[in-house]
Each structure stands twice: as C-alpha cells, then as structure tokens.
Chain A
Amino acid sequence: MSATERAEGAAKTESSGPASRRGPIRWLPARLRAARMETRLARTLVLDVPGWSGHAPGQHVDVRLTAEDGYTAQRSYSVASPSAQDQVELTVQRVQGGEVSTYLTEIMLPGDQLEIRGPLGGWFQWTARIRGPVLLVGGGSGVVPLMAMLRERVRSDSSSPFRLIYSARTPDHIIYTSELHQMGQTHPDIQISRLYTRSGLPDDTREPGRLRIEDLPPPGNEITEGPSRVYVCGPTGFVEHAARLLVDRGYRSSDIRTERFGS
C-alpha cells in the first residue's frame, strides 16, 4: 500500500507500551489452563504464562512446540484477549495438513505445555490512546486480532466508534458468534456486520460472495466523521482485495494497516 509513498514521509508509530519494550526476547513456558471450541475448526486456548507482562491488542506471539525427540515447529498466532498479566488467549483455526494447528486444536490437553515469545509487532495494534472511529475488516480467522481490539474497546474507557466487517464462508464459520452479537446489542457505538462468501442465512438480503465495495462504509468527510484508522486482517488474497476496495472507496492508504497470513 504505502510503497508508492516516497521515502521522505516519516514513519508513524505508536510508541510506549508493551510493544516498545526493549531488551532481548525470551521464550516463556506456557501451560494450557482451559480450551473451548469456537467453531468446528477453531479453538481458543487459555494459557498461563508466568512472566508475561501484557501486550497491545492486535499483537501476536510466536509459538514453539518441541517433541520428545527434540523436533521443533514454530508458528505465529494472534492474541485474542486484551492485555493481562501472566495469561494469554489464542484462537487457532485448524489448517488442513497443518501439524501445529492440528495439535493445538485437536490434541493439546489442559496441563500440556508449549513455549511462546512476544508480544510481537508494533504496526498492527490498537490501544485506547488512539482516538477516533475505527473500521475493522476481517476475513476468516483474521478476526482474531480484531477481536482483541474490540474486547479492549469494551473494557477501556474509550468512546471510539468501532465497526467490524467480518467475512466468513458460512454462519457456521463465524468465531465468537455470541460475544459479537452481544457486543453489537449492548454497545451503541459498536456495529458488527457479518457477510458470507459461500452461503448465508435464509433472510439475508446480501447475496453470498466475496467482499464488495458496497459492503464497506464510506470514509468520513468534513461533515461526518468517518474511520480514522482501518485494520484489515486475513489470508493474503483477502487482505489485498479488501485494501484495494478500501482505496477505491476513498480511504487513504496511509490510514489502512494490514496483516496477512498464508493461503
């Protein structure tokens, strides 16, 4: 997105807070305290992590598994929970043939251990210090870091209006379905929009299909305040499609922050 900007523009950063913590990064042992299935494929893991000192919503962690024979496998997962001491919640969606996600969603039991390091990533994060309306656009399990932002928005004293556009294959693929419904019902400043790419609900007025320009709210102008910050997360193809639509809709590319994962 910002590749077309020239080099003179100063990088915008959110300094201070956990993201800017300095010094060497360490792997911390983490123990599974509890787990719950969110959909048929997605599982939330509640991990006890002694020494974890919190994170900013949107950040991720590296997870490392070590087998008895010493074989290790490492992946990155977004944190789903708002910041907390000594505890981290991840929501992992099983990828077909994925050795790490299959272990985390189907095999790992409470009491089992793994290692995590983080929090990672200062670019894709929101904190209550950032003022102004926020638009979140998530595809599939890309909703996970956006959920951390929504949960922080609810928990904090922020009054920033939030709008979530959540694209999933079918209603059965919606993660956090009841919590999202409740957020939308109880917070007038939080608006949740679900859209389906394969098949929706019987009374949907929108035809199933990938994200379209009319699914996106217009940016603000001199009279109406629109989103001052847009976060997009999902598979690479989804993120690039969404980012193009947002620019076509009139959003400034410098206001759009993206995070892609594979496939």
Chain B
Amino acid sequence: MHEDNDHRVDGNAAAGILREVFASDVTTARVVCGHCTAGTSVAETKTYLAGPGSILRCPGCDAILARITKIRDTVWLDLSGSASWQIHTG
C-alpha cells in the first residue's frame, strides 16, 4: 500500500484494479500456480505495481501468476501463469 510503487508489496495492493474487472473482491480467492502447483490467496502473492501494470508472482516459486495492465478504458488481463482461480461469490 502507500507509496514506493516500484517496490514489492502484496496482492492486497491490487484489490482496486482487480475490483474493476471482477464482480467481487478476489484478494481472498485462491490461485494455483501453473508452474509449481502451490496454492495461495491472491492477497499473499508477491505484487509489483509499476506504471500502468501490476504483476502478481507466486510466493513459492516466483513464477508470474497474473499480469494486469490498464490503458485508458481497457484492462488487459493475462492469467496464463496460473492453473486456476477459486473465487468465493457468497
């Protein structure tokens, strides 16, 4: 949170941009890494905020789980590094 946006934070800091895309909060979602198959909450991912994009990495193996880039009115979402997202909708 707060400033120093080039430094590593965690997935809590991506809650706002993710909330633009998803209908509910996904920081509590469980994401499975496509590389090492470990599961973690989105809140606990290693998150890098830089310029127009955010990168979420696996806290276990550092593989990229998600790239979220916003350019004007368009969000570009690349989830190819993750195997699945388990999202609580209740």
Contacts and interface: CB of A to CB of B under 8 A. Distances in A.
Contacts of B41: 2, 11, 123
Interface residues of A, number: 50
Nearest to B83: A7
A101 B2 contact: yes
Given A98-B3, A262-B9, A1 B44 contact: yes
B19 A25 contact: yes
B1 A3 contact: no
Contacts of B33: 3
A22 interface: yes
Interface size classification for chain B? 35 or more
A95 B2 contact: yes
Contact of A2 (B25, B27, B44): B44
Nearest to B37: A7
Interface in A3-46: 3-16, 19-23, 25
B56 to A, nearest CB: 12
A6 B10 CA distance: 20
Contacts of A13: 28, 88, 90
A6 B16 contact: no
Contacts of B19: 25, 117, 120
B25 A260 contact: no
Nearest to B19: A25
A259 B12 contact: yes
Interface of A: 1-16, 19-23, 25, 60, 62, 75-78, 92-93, 95, 98, 100-101, 117-118, 120-124, 141, 236, 257-263
